[in-house]
Amino acid sequence: MITLIEEIKQGHVWDFHGGIHPPENKRQSSETSILPADIPNEIVLPTKQHIGTAGQLLVNVGDKVLKGQPLTKSDILQCCPVHAPTSGEVVAIEPRTIAHASGLTDNCIVIKPDFEDTWGDKNALPDFREVSDEALIDHVRMMGIAGMGGAGFPAARKLQTGHARTEILIINGAECEPYITADDRLMQERADEIVQGIEILQHIVSPKLTVMALEDNKPEAIDALKLATQGKPDIVVQVVPTKYPSGGEKQLIKLITGKEVPAKAIPAAIGVMMQNVGTVFAIKRAVIDGEPLIERVVTLTGTTLKEQRNRWALLGTPVSFLLDKHGYEPDKKVERVIIGGPMMGYTIPHPNVPVTKVTNCVLVPSRREIAPSEGEMACIRCSACAEACPASLLPQQLQWYAKDQDYDKCEEYNLFDCIECGACAFVCPSEIPLVQYYRQAKSEIRARDAEQQAAERAKERFEAKKARMERDKKAREERHKQAAENRRKAMEKSGEGDAIAAAIARVKAKSENESAATAMKPAVAAAIAKAKAKQAEAAAQGQTEPDNSEMAKLREERKRQARERKAQKASESETENATDDKKDAVAAAIARAKARKAAQQSESEPASDNSAAGEDPKKAAVAAAIARAKARKEAQQVDAATPTADSAPEEQAPIEEDPKKAAVAAAIARAKARKAAQEAEAEAPATDSAPLETPVEEDPKKAAVAAAVARAKARKVAQQEKAEPPTADSAPVEVTPAEDDPKKAAVAAAVARAKARKAAQQAEAEAPAVDVAPVDEAPVEDNPKKAAVAAAVARAKARKAAQQAEVEAPTSEAAPVEDTPVKEDPKKAAVAAAIARAKARKAAQMKNKNEEE
């Protein structure tokens, strides 16, 4: 049976499913030689030009670099370093737009060339056969070589994967994409160097057979390679039919070997490795010449160029620089710059993007050459896409699932086997951009898988940490257990164990005895003994249960006594609280009585002296208030067991539990007493004893209103009398017009108010007072003594304000008093009356002072 290698040597070629035959358009650029590279004014080098991770920067802004000098470094095979294409100065390291289908930006090293093109140190290995495979692979990685066929996979990584497992090495020279001729011209002009690169790869991977695969539309390249491989039986030049996409990795493997690469697998799984001719040439330059990958061949084509041909281009050269070199005249209606061919290429946003390691073609077609899409239309289910798919997929189904974001179905239908060749979109009559849907779906799936992998790694780390903590805990417990065992053995060995055990036993026994003694009280023990005796007696008499009736009676009696003691304690506590509250109220009443008496004395005697001496009546009032406060303080120290006549009404006041509440009750009583006094003044303004005869049963609210009206009228008469013979002692301090001396009249009025308060307190004993807000003071202090002092000061200030108000408007205040809405809120009426009196007193004092001056 003939072997596979013998079939390949005999020229047998297989076929793959699908494929198309688009217009080639290769003759425009393949018939002329490759132009040398020119140095642009600025070089922009992306730090990542391959599949994998970017390297670590080795230069900074302002550094001078030489040609071939490494600019980045990395220690992993999945990363390719970047080297300086020419000598110059690093002027910036910043994000720039790169050649990407989405027009993304990436970190780039910007070099300003010095146009001297000075080389740095070269690290060549001309005797590569004397170097180990691992050293050669690492040398290829350090030279920054990546796949130059379009994918950009790191060459060192691919060599490491296929090392010692490759049977057939395939060099891909098919170059099936329309318009692109870079590999064709390279094979025609550098066939000998390509063969040298093949020998390096053979030394590394040791294949059984090496095949150079070319399409039959490249006769010049085929002849050049056959000439270069003469006398090398292990290298076969194989010609395959021209069909797109025969240059795809899996498709070319099927053409050469007849084998299919499994889904989600790599060619190394079936013993095959593939390298592009441009990658092989770069490996030769890196190993034998010591030159890193700093330039490549780029096809410049399209009818908008005056000259279409291939050119060597330094990596990082702006595309606009190359287009200007070839006479680019953009289409005025549709300006397009495509990186790659018309099938797998992508349009860039502007021509100022740099050339990278995977840039094999720059296509600038006119509108007539490649007509723009007229827009996506509905699918007609013609199945042309499925027939053209070289990967035997169902493009229509994949597009539906990708559009619906059903990524699980996309994976189920082997979306990642799609090579994005564009054959399905090329044959679609509805012009559906199928490849764009597939690229988007792949990107979303990769992102989702990355998140899932991160979550899995986090879960694994958490579980590993949890397991480690469990192990540490068990190890710690084992250590403690072992230490205790060692201590026990040591004590047993030294004889201390028995003594310790005996001591522990004694402590336990003692604690048990103490607990039993504590729990067993003498009475309880006697009761238990008595109960046991009864049980024994009952058992002796033949009874099943003893007679416990007497014990039951005793228990009931004890319960009754306990209840009585409890009730007696509760009543005693209530009586004590009531007694304390009563004593507090009595003390407050005594203090108020003494304060009033002191105030009357201070007003009758010192007030006359002070007025004769010309002293200010305001200061006299303040002094009287202070005297009253001191009197109250002294009265509170008197024994509460001997209540006076003034305290009797206070005992009838509602008793509160807290001293603050007692002070509030006292203030309420004073407010009601003032209302009764005002009623007495309204009936008999000239008589001091009239408030004592005031009927207690009358409504105090109406009495307050009547008193206010009477005072207003009295003030009006007093002012009329003052207008004729004004004197210094004519201040109306809440007195009747019949008095000659205003100070004595004030004293008489104070006495009348005191008597009225007593009558009001008696009335409160018969009808409990309502919760009226205190007019003159609000006892917010914790100590009732302080509350009394504050109330006295407040009353003094109120009298001053009343005197001043009487001077300004003596007649106008009567009407508002009469119109006071007493029916709505009696509390507010009382407050309004007190405020009016205070303002009137203050106005009168001011007027008297002015007259004296």
416-457 pLDDT, tens digit per residue, is 999 999 999 999 999 999 999 999 999 899 999 989 999 999
Statement: residue 737 has pLDDT above 60: no
385 annotated to a ligand binding site:
yes
Contact 746, 610 (CB under 8 A): no
Indicate whether 239 pLDDT > 70. yes
Whether the Cβ atoms of residue 596 and residue 750 lie closer than 8 Å to each other: yes
Q: What pLDDT, on the 0 to 100 scale, is given for residue 566? A: 86
679 or 140: whose pLDDT is higher? 140
Least confident of 223-237, 240-254, 838-852: 838-852
| pLDDT, mean of residues 355-369 | 92
- Encode pLDDT of 661-715 as tens digits: 656 666 676 777 677 666 655 554 333 333 333 333 445 555 555 556 656 666 6
Is 424 annotated as a binding-site member?
yes
Q: What's the CA gap between 315 and 646, in Å, rounded?
A: 114
Tell me the fold of 27-362.
Rossmann fold (3.40.50)
Reported as a single tens digit per residue, the pLDDT across 606-663 is: 444 444 334 455 565 566 567 666 666 665 654 443 444 343 333 333 333 455 665 6
- pLDDT tops 80 at residue 88: yes
Residue 382 is labelled as binding a ligand: yes
Token pair of 47, please? 């730090």
* Contact in structure between 292 and 141 (CB atoms under 8 Å): no
pTM: 0.57
pLDDT winner (highest mean) among 93-107, 529-543, 580-594: 93-107
Lowest mean pLDDT among 186-200, 219-233, 307-321, 688-702: 688-702
Among residues 534, 530, 556, the alpha carbon closest in space to that of 545 is found at: 534
- Residue 272 DSSP symbol: E
pLDDT at 480 over 90: yes
Domain with CATH 3.40.50.11540 in the chain: 27-362
Average pLDDT over residues 291-318: 94
Question: Which of 389-398, 399-408, 842-851 is the least confident region?
Answer: 842-851
- pLDDT class of 475 with cuts at 50, 70, 90: very high
| pLDDT at 410 exceeding the cut of 90 | yes
Question: Taking a C-beta distance cutoff of 8 angstroms, is the pair 311, 325 a contact?
Answer: yes
Give the per-residue pLDDT at 843: 73
Q: Determine the pLDDT at residue 785.
A: 57
Query: Does the pLDDT at position 332 exceed 90?
Result: no
Is residue 389 part of an annotated ligand binding site? yes
pLDDT band at 59 (very low <50, low <70, confident <90, very high): very high
Task: Enter the DSSP assignment of 154.
Answer: B
DSSP string, 238-274: EEE---BTTTSHHHHHHHHH---PPTT--GGGGTEEE
pLDDT value at position 429?
A: 93
DSSP label at 163? T
Q: Which residues contact 335 (CB under 8 A, 6 or more apart)?
A: none
pLDDT at 824 over 70: no
pLDDT averaged over every residue in the chain: 78
Q: How far apart are CA 655 and CA 666, in angstroms?
A: 10
Q: From residue 170, how far is each of 25, 195, 198, 268, 514 by CA, in Å?
A: 26, 13, 10, 12, 97
Q: Is 361 annotated as a binding residue?
A: no
Q: Higher-confidence residue: 335 or 518? A: 335
Number of CB atoms found within 10 A of residue 834's CB: 21
421 annotated ligand-binding residue: yes
Residue 740 pLDDT class (50, 70, 90 cuts): very low
